[in-house]
Amino acid sequence: MKIAVKDANVFIDMESMGILDLWFQLGYETLTSDFVVTELEKGDHQQALSHVRAGQVGAISISGEQLPELYALFAEIEPAGASLEDASVLHIALAHDALLLTGDKALRTQSEVRMVECHGTFWILEQLVDEGLLLPQIAADKLVYLLGLTGRRKRFLPRALAESYIQKWRK
Phi and psi torsions of 33, nearest 5°: -105, 160
Q: What is the pLDDT of residue 1?
A: 67
Q: What is the pLDDT of residue 115?
A: 95
Q: Do residues 13 and 146 make contact, with C-beta atoms less than 8 angstroms apart?
A: yes
pTM tops 0.85, yes or no:
yes
Neighbours of 13 (CB within 10 A): 25
Mean pLDDT for back-to-back runs of 10 residues, the chain (171 residues): 92 95 95 96 95 96 88 92 94 96 93 95 97 97 94 89 96 88
Q: Is the dihedral of CA 10, 13, 16, 20 positive or negative?
A: negative
Paired sense of beta strands 99-101 and 28-33, if any: unpaired
